[in-house]
Structure 1
Amino acid sequence: MGQGYGFGKVILFGEHFVVHGVPSIASAISSKTTAIVEKKGGTGIEVVDERPEIPGYKKEKLEMQEDSDKRILEAVGINTDETGVKITLGGDLMAASGVGASAASCAAIARALSEEFSLGFDDEKINQIAYEGEKGYHGSPSGIDNTAATFGGLIWFIKGDPNIIEKMKIEKPLYIVMGNTGIVANTKAAVEGVKERKEKEPDKYNKIFEDAKNLIHDARKALEAGDVEKVGKLMDENHRLLQEIEVSSPELDMLVSLAKENGALGAKMTGGGLGGYMYALAPDQDIQERIAKVMGDKQFQVIKATVGG
């Protein structure tokens, strides 16, 4: 029996833009997906998915999950026509859009396979395999989700050949609240939609992408300087740019407004958009609690997390 894990994540800045070479900043969160892999008699793949979920998520993602699992096993070099494999998924990370659930499961499965088949993969190799698995969910993933899921911590990421990955350090912890719209989003469709619109309106989109690039460099400086007020303002601006490229949703915008009305320094959608999660930055733990309570009182599922520090 092999065991593995992958961290959930929050993209602090740069989702969608990252697919097109703009930097992005992401942080792992403490919630994880776990995987147990066992060789079994016969052939094929058996998956037992015991992760907590937003209603409808697993059903909606089932075909993508099957494609992803096949890609992972192929990348690892296991032929399930010869060796049967049972995968059991669990952990405390909600299976939902926007929190890196697919990447967390890919990293967890890769680690568990490495252990069960005595392959001795290091984190770099686990990350490569998780990226192959992510293709089943996202078509052409940026690579940031699987990188956060594998390595943890706070990450500066630029997609390229090769990817640029830098660990960031911030002295002062950030208190965040992640609010879930309850909508299962299709990241693949969101990414493809941006690509199509960018091709149709290159001048408009190139300006937005240039603004995003400048903003994210400013965000890194503000984070490393511990200037949380500036970080909050840049979050608001990043959300506005995401609205402009049409990947937010009325539910995300409502949660962003709700957080701001209750003391958030800034708030924005996170991840693929069109549903899934947003996150808000609180100046302290008391305001973090207040924002989480207001969202919870309105029946939204909430994650409280600390980034850095």
Structure 2
Amino acid sequence: MTEITARAVAGFREAFDREPDGVWSAPGRVNLIGEHTDYNEGFVLPFAIDRRTVAAVALTDDGQLQAGTTAEPGVQSSAAEGIEVPLPGWSAYPFGVAWALGARSGARIFLDSDVPVGAGLSSSAAVECSVSTALDELWDLGLSKPELVLLGQKAENEAVGAPTGIMDQSASLLGERDAAVFLDCRTQESEVVPLGLEAAGLEVLVIDTRVKHSHATGGYGERRASCELGARLMGVGSLRDLSVDDLPRAQQVLDDVTFRRVRHIVTENERVLQTVAALRERGPRAIGPLLDASHVSMRDDFEISVPELDLAVEMARATGAIGARMTGGGFGGAAIALVPREQVATVIDAVTKAFARDGFEAPNCFAVRADAGARRES
């Protein structure tokens, strides 16, 4: 039993004075490339990481949902039937999943996690997917992983109120070791693409800036609205229907801000396809320039970066990274850098010193590996 699993079981016993029926876990994710393309029916290339949320769960016959977590004191409660969404606070994630699954009975849920919150590593999807995997089994629903993906998205959109796509849940449920999930968000078709990082001697370094963000508020929703406006003015169902050849016309039709939002999505879709091709044909050392170009596009066209993210990317590139970019929804969170194993300590030292020099809070830097998706632990 892992340390985090043991903590979840101990927390469950303390909170509910009984044993759980089982323990399930689901990983956070790093999005290698393909940012804000998911809700535009485009392409993304995330991978599940070796940071996980663990859910200890038991069913009850009292019609009550109760959830606790090591991150917050006390226990949150809700009736299993008649849940009204959106829901307040952190319990919106586990209770929202129960609601999306059609809450069959009461349940007790206790969560522990080592996925950093607010870092752009989808701690929310890790909660949703650990709980949905548990309840799918305990309620004997027999749902497929693609069905659980859509129900997790429904919970996030309607119960939490965050207008996200299907990327995060797809990575958390479908991930495999040393591989990414190439996802077509229009057709929901997915394909596992080997990363080959271990054999190439490369690490994915996460640089958590500690600048917190939230998808349920602020700029994320504004960016989505801009994309929908751009598609409507261009006469297409979604920005997936546009190619780089359409950008000259888009520049004539759209105002400057909307055009730049559209240009990011169109070129980012192309970068995802190029990254998949490069991984297949030349290996992971070939994708650095695509990661760099993605960051520039998010910084300048989509305008979702912050000074801390830009500094992290700049210093990583200057001290040995093959490529680097911010990852996640933006307005804070983390950057990732693809770094030769022997250079990781050098990059971490340089980034940390640069943050101190510029008066930023010290970043949390750690390497992650591509890991398996949601699973039963015990």
Smaller-chain TM-score range?
A: 0.7 to 0.9
1:159 aligns with 2:179: no
The percentage of counterpart residues that share the same residue type is: 21
Tell me which of 296, 304, 321 is aligned to 1:247.
Answer: 304
Out of 69, 73, 85, the position equivalent to 2:94 is: 69
- The RMSD of aligned alpha carbons is 2.5
Q: Residue in 1 aligned with 2:3?
A: none
Q: Counterparts in 2 of 1:1-309, with a 5 A limit?
A: 1-40=21-60, 42-50=62-70, 63=88, 65-78=90-103, 83-135=105-157, 136-137=159-160, 139-153=162-176, 154-160=180-186, 162-173=187-198, 174-188=202-216, 189-198=218-227, 199=229, 201-243=257-299, 244-282=301-339, 284-295=340-351, 299-307=362-370
Which residue identity lines up with residue 158 of structure 1 in the other structure?
D
Q: Which amino acid aligns with 1:103?
A: A
CA contact (8 A) 2:212 2:332 kept: yes
May I ask how many residue pairs the two structures share in their alignment?
A: 294
Query: C-alpha separation between the residues in 1 aligned to 2:60 and 2:366?
Result: 36
Deviates more, 1:27-36 or 1:40-49: 40-49
Q: Name the counterpart of 1:59.
A: none
Separation (CA, whole Å) in 2 of partners of 1:307 and 1:45: 33
Quick one: structure 1 residues 138 and 9, their matched pair in 2 at CA, closer, same or farther if it must change by over 3 Å?
farther
CA contact (8 A) 1:33 1:51 kept: no
Cα distance in 2 for partners of 1:158, 1:166 equals: 9
CA distance in 1, matches of 2:97, 2:271: 35
What SS is found at the alignment partner of 2:120? coil
User: 1:68·1:134 contact (CA, 8 Å) conserved in 2?
Assistant: yes
Q: 1:213 to 1:122 in 2, by over 3 A?
A: closer
Aligned-partner Cα distance in 2 for 1:42–1:279: 45
Kindly state the Cα deviation for residue 246 of structure 1 after the two structures are TM-superposed: 1.1
CA displacement at 1:234 relative to structure 2: 0.9
Give 1:17 deviation, angstroms.
2.5
TM-score normalised over the length of structure 2 = 0.70
Displacement of 1:73 in angstroms is 1.1
- How far apart, in 1, do the equivalents of 2:213 and 2:197 lie? 32
Q: Please tell me whether the aligned partners of residues 94 and 127 of structure 2 are also in contact (alpha carbons under 8 angstroms).
A: no
Q: Helix, strand or coil for the counterpart of 1:65?
A: coil
